[in-house]
Amino acid sequence: MQTRILGHSGLQVSAIGLGCMGLSYGLGPAVEKADGIRLIRAAFERGVTFFDSAEAYGPFANEELVGEAVAPFRDQVVIATKFGFIDGVVSKGLDSRPASIRAVAEAALKRLNTDRIDLFYQHRVDPNVPIEDVAGTVRELIREGKVGYFGLSEAGAQTIRRAHAVQPVAALQSEYSLWWREPEQSVLPVLEELGIGFVPFSPLGKGFLTGAIDAHTTFDPNDFRNVVPRFSEENRAANAGLVEVLGQLANDRGVTRAQIALAWLLAQKPWIVPIPGTTKLHRLEENIGAASVRLSSQDLAAIDTALQAIAIVGERYPAALQQRVDR
């Protein structure tokens, strides 16, 4: 697989990474550990070198899974993980106090069975802790050799600037896809100006853009999409037009909807690295195949024209979670 460098950081990763959250958390029951290890190792065998985890995924179980899975080839991959929730539990709220960041780093190193965290993200901006204190703490961890690079997740333009002035930010991780393009408005220009890479999560719209989900799909009781407004039955029906257009575009090019969606992201900027997640080998291979799909300027213009006529319905988060996104 081709590689990309996240902004001006020098951090080189595969053009498509693997979001590991769904193996342990958020999208129904966790997979069997052996199955998760096999999937991660299959990704590496196919060229993926960028694996995304967090203490909150489980909590803690995902870091342990990733650490065990990549152990045989640890020095050939980049591991990203995150801090920022009380006890690693999203529902408990935010905690990015310097002492907490240090505690999370030490615990994550043990769970990942490694001597350094390659990319350490603040999972969500904590309004109670100045971002300068957060960046300063990660800067110290970098100087101590425990962390390689500093990242932010779902941070707004001003927060990015303030953090970057203290410790250069290697990457911003935020949602970005054909059905959530808000980062184009104010975030992407700042990232380009400052030389910061962009790591889109949910690049396939939490599975919706693949065409595998329709108005009649039922989710596991533990699947967080049950509470996402955009995934209500009526909103899924209303958004079906987007999937139909993607299907037409994909059929014309002999690829899949997912590959069109990922190739579109890769075509936006050379420092964008999406991290689709999956629990299935055939989906993993499909996603990786998107790195070989080339969209011409005419293709991109046709996609934009087709999508301009489609209004996406429904918020991407419940109100309580949306409040945690920094603007």
Distance of CA 11 to the CA centre of its chain: 16
Question: At which residue do the structure tokens 């425990």 appear?
Answer: 146
57 is catalytic: yes
Biggest CA–CA distance in the chain, Å, is 54
Rounded to 5°, the CA angle 283-206-221 comes to 100
- Check if the beta carbon of residue 7 is closer than 8 Å to that of residue 170: yes
Q: How far apart are CA 22 and CA 4, in angstroms?
A: 24
- Collapsing DSSP to helix, strand or coil, 223 comes out as strand
**Ramachandran angles phi, psi of 177, nearest 5°:** -170, 180
> What angle, 0 to 180 degrees and rounded to 10, lies between the N-to-C axes of helices 157-166 and 183-194?
20
Q: Cβ contacts of residue 180 below 8 Å, gap of 6+?
A: 202, 205, 312, 316
Nearest CA to 284 out of 3, 28, 36 is that of: 36
Residue tagged active-site, from 25, 57, 121, 149: 57
Is the bond leading into 59 cis (omega within 30 degrees of zero)? yes
Rg (CA), the chain: 19
Task: Read off the tokens for 26.
Answer: 């958020």
Catalytic residues: 57
